[in-house]
Structures are given as structure tokens and as C-alpha cells.
Amino acid sequence: MSVRRFTGAKVVIFGGPGVGKTAFVVRYMTKRYIGDYDRNKEMMYNHKIPSPRDDVTLEIVDTAASESLENKENHIRWGEGFVFIYSITDKASFEYACTLKDMLVKSRGSEVPAVLVANKCDLLSVKQVDDSEGVSLAEQLNCPKFDVSVAEGYTGVSEAMEELVIQLKREFVKNCSQAAVSANDKTKSKLFTFKKGFKKRISRSHSDTV
């Protein structure tokens, strides 16, 4: 029997305009911080994570600032894991993350692999979002929250992505075992139908002989 291995997953980076989505992805992939990007471009990246057994490739969509509702819904259907980013300096971006969370939970439930990222923690003096608000959103998303400054460092970014990859692997294993259980159920039910048919045939042939 062939063993399925986790070789990759589709990840969506969600968040309002200017929260640092592109800076986050670029930091994660290159460890570098580049300040300015075109906000209206949606980008798709393939990022290979070396692993002892098989390489794992993440397909990452860095969503654009002005996404249509249809686009958001497409991304929610497409993604296997989600990074929700808001900026602690921008209340509207927090509210935007809450709206995206509602859309995700409505469509996919709250068990989907996800992490919440509170970005721009280097700008505490102009903070607009309380920690408690972020914690409550993370609870609703059923996921951990990471306080990061993409501008200041790589560590928080990589920790958030490592956590997401752990959740994605767990989900993969869960799906594999569910598939195995349902394949087993199918075999069992085939066997059951066969046994039933066999019993019927026997009792018919028995009554024929009486």
C-alpha cells in the first residue's frame, strides 16, 4: 500500500490594505524586509521548505488591497491554510480581519488551519487595537495569535508560519485517516451486501430443495 506524504499546501494571506501582507510574505521567503510594494497586485508564490523526508512546497497567495467579494470567496474555497493579518495601528484593519473571519467560519467552519498576526508592533505609540481584542478574535478563529513587527524581525514571522505548517500537517493526517476509515467502511459495506446476497441465495436454494 502506498503511503501518502505531506508535500505542500495552499496558503492565503488575508488582511486589509497596508497591514503588511506583502512585507510579511517577502520576509518569510527571503528573510529580508522591503518597505514598499504595489498594493493592488495579487501575487502567487511557491515557497519550498526543506524537510528531512520530502520537500514541502507552499503555494502562497498574497491578496490585493481591493479584492472583490467574489475573489475573497474564491480564496476562501481555494485555501487550505490562512494567515489573517491586521495592523495594531489601524482599527479598520482589525475590523476588516473580523469580517474575513466571519466569512471563513461561515463557509468552512472554525477548524480550518489558521493563524492571526498582529503586525506593526514596533509602533506601540500609535496603537489603536487592544491586545484583548486580538485575543478574542483569535479565540473566534480557534487559532493562535502572533504579535510581530515584520519591519523589525524575521522570528515572529517564521514562528507564525511554522505554526501554520504544523496545523496543515495535522489536517492532512486527519484527512488521510478519515479517507482510510471511509474506504474501510466501503469495503465493509460491500462485504455486508455480498454476505446478505449470499445468505438470500442460500435460503432461496434451501427453499427450492424443500
Ligand X SMILES: Nc1nc2c(ncn2[C@@H]2O[C@H](COP(=O)(O)OP(=O)(O)O)[C@@H](O)[C@H]2O)c(=O)[nH]1
Do residues 45 and 59 make contact, with C-beta atoms less than 8 angstroms apart? yes
Cβ nearer to ligand X, comparing 29 with 176? 29
First CA to last CA across the chain, in angstroms? Answer: 47
Of the candidate residues 39, 188, 200, 201, the single one contacting ligand X (CB under 6 A): 39
15 near ligand X (CB under 6 A): yes
Closest-CA residue to 19 (of 61, 62, 57) = 62
Q: According to CB under 6 A, which one of 9, 11, 12, 21 is a site residue for ligand X?
A: 21
Residues 50-69 that bind ligand X (CB under 6 A): 65
Q: Which is nearer to Mg ion, 21 or 72 (CB)?
A: 21
Give me the residues that bind Mg ion (CB under 5 A), please. Answer: 21-22
* 19 forms part of the interface with ligand X (CB under 6 A): yes
Q: What angle is formed at CA 120 by the lines to CA 77 and CA 148, rounded to 5 degrees?
A: 70
d(CA 41, CA 61) in angstroms, rounded, equals 11
Q: Is 58 helix (H, G, I), strand (E, B) or coil?
A: strand
Residue 3 CB, nearest approach to Mg ion (Å): 38
Which of the ranges 14-22, 72-80, 162-170, 176-184 carries the binding residues for ligand X, by CB under 6 A?
14-22
DSSP conformation class of 125 = G
